[in-house]
Amino acid sequence: MRAMACAFAACLLILAIVVRTAPAAVQSDGEVEALHEQAAELYRARKYGEAMPIAQQALALGEQRLGPGDVRFGKLLYGVALLHDVQGRYAEAEPFYQRTLAVLEKARGPDHVPVGKVLNDLAGLYTRLKRHAEAEPLYQRSLAVLEKVLGPDHADVTDALDGLALVYRVQRRVGEAIPLYQRVLAIREKEKGADHPDLATALNNLAIVYRALGRSAEAEPLFQRVLAITEKAKGADHPDVAAALERLAVVYEVAGRYAEAEPLYKRSLAITEKSLGPDDPDVRRWLDKLAQAYQMQDRHADNEPLYLRAIAIIEKTQGPDHPDVAAQLDKLAHVNQMQRRYADAEPLLERALAIMEKARGPDHPDLRRPSTGWRGTMRHSASIPRPSCCFSARLSLWKGREAPSMPMFESPWASLL
């Protein structure tokens, strides 16, 4: 939202410069301009609903007085396009962006900065609509125009680089995104310095694509820089710091460095508890993350209080019979199993089964698929009973009846590799 507001101000400024260079015979109509500026002020105040009828009035009046080919009419079209866009009315925004582009290209030619910026905005709209094949050539055109007019290292080039890189990522062309993100980072470092808060997004994007390609050694120092910049800019207890800690922790986990991930999750948990309270649903997510780090270090006794807290939070916020309670009970049963406390595990599984049958019905597929809480148990000891493929089968196993066996599960972190 903030980026779009900045785009609005920047592009209107450029369009205004274009208008001021127009011949005297087509200089601004005062009433049209006043209405447009009123809409722009409301936009900047985020009063989009109030701005729209005024912008539409300016557009209708401008079409009568200026004509559909006037560059100032393009500015009015652009204002209506942005107001639709920022309110999520993407289908309504599209024709206004297209008409703005047509007016500007006809009036000024294809190689002007406003043309490049509107191309970028239209590409961004297509990206939000998941029409990535249509967004790609527009980002490429925008990039070519802005590089030609402003130079390859100008700050305004980064928007097109970022957008094109995102399209490549969505299309699973991650390798093609890397040089674009590297350019964005280099331009912003040159413009603002190595520790500026605006670098965090560029660093984070590049680190994510490195991690996606298994290049964790290159991702790690970038995530560390994001963490340092975020702490400096927003304070050590800001929620954005918790998100930065998590990204770095995942890198450590993928590398099997669970002991290093652990203190990062503890910090994220403390930050969330401080900002939202100890019983907020978001706290449960960090409890799960920390529990996973403990599990991968075979610290099952440390897991138990975390799962008990998670169960208490879910019961308080969603009720004692919510399916998420069953999932946590299953994990807690696994903790007991790994400590050979089978008698303690059985009632947890019984309660989990009762919750799931009540919520889903006794024949629901959720009661047949394997539970993630039992992954990797066979690597600990051959004497531990093999988990079965559903709650009811595992209960049969506990009670000494025959139950179907289940193939070995992969590590919980295999999906991150």
Give residue-wise pLDDT tens across range 86-127: 999 999 999 999 999 999 999 989 999 999 999 999 999 999
User: Locate tokens 């300016």: which residue?
Assistant: 58
pLDDT > 90? residue 129? yes
In CATH terms, is domain 110-192 a member of 1.25.40.10? yes
Radius of gyration of the chain (CA): 28
- Cα separation, 331 vs 353, in Å, equals 13
> Is the distance from CB of 120 to CB of 142 less than 8 angstroms?
yes
Q: What is the dihedral of CA 212, 214, 218, 222, to 10 degrees?
A: 30
Residue 336 is predicted with a pLDDT of 92
Residue 364 is predicted with a pLDDT of 73
Q: Could you give the angle at which helices 300-318 and 281-296 cross, rounded to 10 degrees?
A: 160
Amino acid at 260: E
Structure tokens at 295: 């599990």
Q: Chain-wide mean pLDDT for the chain?
A: 84
Rounded to the nearest angstrom, the gap between the alpha carbon of residue 378 and the centroid of all alpha carbons in its chain is: 35
pLDDT > 60? residue 12? no
pLDDT > 90? residue 416? no
Among 248-252, 317-321, 331-335, 369-373, where is mean pLDDT lowest? Answer: 369-373
What share of the chain has pLDDT > 70, as a percent?
81
Residue with the bigger pLDDT between 305 and 369: it is 305
Amino acid at 189: E
When pLDDT is averaged across residues 310-328 and rounded to a whole number, the result is 94
- Cα separation, 349 vs 227, in Å, equals 40
> Is the distance from CB of 90 to CB of 84 less than 8 angstroms?
yes
> Is the distance from CB of 22 to CB of 72 less than 8 angstroms?
yes
Residue with the bigger pLDDT between 356 and 16: it is 356
Residue 347: partners with Cβ closer than 8 Å, 6 or more residues away: none
- Cα separation, 409 vs 202, in Å, equals 36
Domain ranges of the chain: 1-108, 110-192, 216-305
pLDDT > 80? residue 397? no
- Cα separation, 302 vs 65, in Å, equals 74
Residue 409 is predicted with a pLDDT of 27
pLDDT digits (tens, 9 = 90+) for 322-381: 999 999 999 999 999 999 999 999 999 999 999 999 888 877 776 665 444 333 333 333
Residue 368 is predicted with a pLDDT of 60
Name the pTM for this structure.
0.78
Residue 360: partners with Cβ closer than 8 Å, 6 or more residues away: 323, 366, 367
Residue 408 is predicted with a pLDDT of 28
Residue 359 is predicted with a pLDDT of 86
Residue 360 is predicted with a pLDDT of 84
In CATH terms, is domain 1-108 a member of 1.20.1250.20? no
Residue 120 is predicted with a pLDDT of 97
Residue 382 is predicted with a pLDDT of 37
When pLDDT is averaged across residues 137-161 and rounded to a whole number, the result is 97
> Is the distance from CB of 302 to CB of 294 less than 8 angstroms?
yes
> Is the distance from CB of 120 to CB of 131 less than 8 angstroms?
no
Residue 22 is predicted with a pLDDT of 44
Residue 411 is predicted with a pLDDT of 30
Q: Is 109 left (phi over 0), alpha (psi -120 to 50) or beta?
A: left
Structure tokens at 159: 């928007």
When pLDDT is averaged across residues 19-38 and rounded to a whole number, the result is 66
pLDDT digits (tens, 9 = 90+) for 183-229: 999 999 999 999 999 999 999 999 999 999 999 999 999 999 999 99
For domain 216-305, the CATH architecture is Alpha Horseshoe (1.25)
Residue 369 is predicted with a pLDDT of 52
pLDDT digits (tens, 9 = 90+) for 254-263: 999 999 999 9
